[in-house]
Structure 1
Amino acid sequence: MDMFQKISEERIKKAYKDGEFDNLPGMGKPLKLEDLSAIPEELRMAYKLLKNAGYTEEENTLRQEMMSIEDLLKKCQDDDRELLQKKLNEKLLRFNQLMSKRGKKTNSSIFKNYEVKIQSRLK
């Protein structure tokens, strides 16, 4: 055992004797462990980091759907454009709601263009 481990152990023992661990939340209750068995072992740390940062699967799905709709809009005929634009607007609104819950601003060019369109309609 090196010096830092000894110092740490001594401080933990002293805190335990002084009762500093007595009133911690969840004391005496089993730990709630997450089941990460469906996630490959090499991706678990990245998954935990994203989850702790508030990143959700719904957010990722919305991003992918918005990119797909934008690609379709670039290649579609005028007949389908209105329906696709409506779907994109719905996805954008939902995505913005998710981001506002996390306190994040959407700096993507997608949202800037959308914001400009809304402002021009309101004028």
Structure 2
Amino acid sequence: MDFSTIVSEERIRRSYKEGEFENLPGMGKPLKLEDLSSIPEDLRMAYKMLKNAGFSPEENRLKQEMMTVEGLMKTCEDLEEKERLQKKLNEKLLRFNQVMSKRRKQTNASIFKNYDEKITRKWNQ
């Protein structure tokens, strides 16, 4: 054992004897463990950090899909294909709003929808 481990263990023992660990929030309740077996081991920490910050994998996937569809719409010249892509984008926006409303966050689809255009305008100034 190294010196810092010995000191840490001693401080924990002393605090426990003095009753500093009594009446802590959640004391006596089981821990809520998450099943992270479906996430690769090297990505678990990043997943936990994103989740703790309020991001969900489904939310990020939907954002990426919406950006992809928007990019396709910008390069598409066929009107029928553009209408199909717009319908697909509307479906993604609806699903995104549903995911966000489950988390009790208000969303504004136009914020994300016009994100690329706002960045382009900002860089062109």
Normalising to structure 2: TM-score of the pair? Answer: 0.64
Asked if the contact 1:92–1:111 (Cα under 8 Å) also holds between the matched residues in 2, the reply is: no
1:29 aligns with 2:29: yes
Q: Which residue of 1 aligns with 2:76?
A: 75
Q: Distance in 2 between matches of 1:109 and 1:66?
A: 8
For structure 2, the 5+ residue unaligned runs are 119-125
Aligned length, in residue pairs = 110
Q: Distance in 1 between matches of 2:113 and 2:63?
A: 13
Percent sequence identity over matched residues?
A: 62
Q: Which residue of 1 aligns with 2:121?
A: none
Query: Higher RCO, 1 or 2 (CA under 8 Å, sep at least 6)?
Result: 2
Q: Distance in 2 between matches of 1:75 and 1:112?
A: 16
Q: Distance in 2 between matches of 1:91 and 1:5?
A: 51
Normalising to structure 1: TM-score of the pair? Answer: 0.65
- 1:57-68 to structure 2, matched below 5 A, reads 57-68=57-68
Q: Which residue of 2 aligns with 1:56?
A: 56
Give how far 1:58 is off.
2.6
Q: Which residue of 1 aligns with 2:44?
A: 44
For structure 1, the 5+ residue unaligned runs are 115-123
Q: What amino acid is aligned across from residue 66 of structure 1 in structure 2?
A: M
Asked if the contact 2:66–2:93 (Cα under 8 Å) also holds between the matched residues in 1, the reply is: yes
